[in-house]
Structure 1
Amino acid sequence: MTDAKNNIDVESAIEELMAEQNEASQDAPEATELEEVDEVEQLRAERDDMRDRFMRALADAENARKRGDRDRREAEQYGGSKLARDMLPVFDNMKRAMEAVPEEQRAASKALIEGIELTMRELLNIFEKHGIRLLSPEVGDKFDPEYHQAMFEAPVPNTKAGDVIQVMAEGFMLHDRLLRPAQVGVSSTPA
């Protein structure tokens, strides 16, 4: 009987062990499922972070391309502005030379004067070719602070305040930028 009792005890012990194993195996999948869920969430977070970094890098690259295009266009249009600014006194001096020749000497120096006039026209043509245009206000025009620089102000009869009364030097534009304002005298309110 002891053998039967021992067999029953062994069988019940085996059943208990199997029951414990079943419980452990049922608990184990829950733990692994939780670990898998955590791993999936980590992968999703990493994916979202990588997507965000990629989109930012793509936007930065596009902005750099646009900035490069803009800088290239500006360099093409305005790169020669320093040289152009340095050439303006040449135009001014040639104009002054033309104005300094008295009328009685014009006939005697006709060839020289023609040469200076042709050189001035060629200089203006080159300016025009490179987007530089002359701003030449007339006496009586309204003073415009965007394009004119007031060199002096004087009360002049038969004028309104703010009228141009003298043009001392023409101004120049480089495409849509002011290269040099026209230097003018402006009327103040007549006394």
Structure 2
Amino acid sequence: GVLEDPYAEPPDDVFLWTQSPEKAPDKPEYVTIEFEKGIPVAINGEKKSLLAIIEELNKTAGKHGVGRIDHMEDRTVGIKSREVYEAPAAITLIKAHFDLEKLTLTKWELSMKQLVDTTWSWLVYNGLWFEPLREELTYFIDKVSENVEGEVKVKLYKGSAMVVGRKSSKALYDLKLSSYESISQFNQKLAEGFVELWGLQSTAAYALRKS
């Protein structure tokens, strides 16, 4: 069919859950999603089951054209295929969840979490649910997710789900340290020595190899 041609744009009638961005409402809609230990537990201030949140977001985000995916994949047997999906709730939740992770996890936790997520997803996608590594990675995900709590505000508009606000009692963001204004308590002069030491090896290698 037409979808087997990777250059052909998918016709609008192959999508059931998502409105075409061109036909989506001209006015944006905002949704708030609350997370506890990494799990969505409320939408727009109302506590709901995960299933109910997914069902509501499929309708709300889908109405705004969010969640259409068109990309090339590598099958396990080595064949490349063009795949077209629609996942309005999943796309919205993933973006909100990742943004909350960036607010509540250290940069080292976040870096490792991204590697773990990629490996975990690959194992599950390829049918290796009972692989011991999958279970071991799940322990890490569960532990890190204990700190992923808070509320994220998402703007839905013309095919886009954009995070425009986030807050958490476990946020690692500190205005007094992060601000560039006079209220900052961070001694910026300390950065001079740090920058010099941080790039010392790279600078030495660059000078040696360019000489």
Q: TM tier, shorter chain?
A: under 0.3
Q: Which has the higher helix share?
A: 1
Kindly indicate whether structure 1 or structure 2 has the higher relative contact order, using CA contacts under 8 Å at least 6 residues apart. Answer: 2
Q: Which has the higher strand share?
A: 2
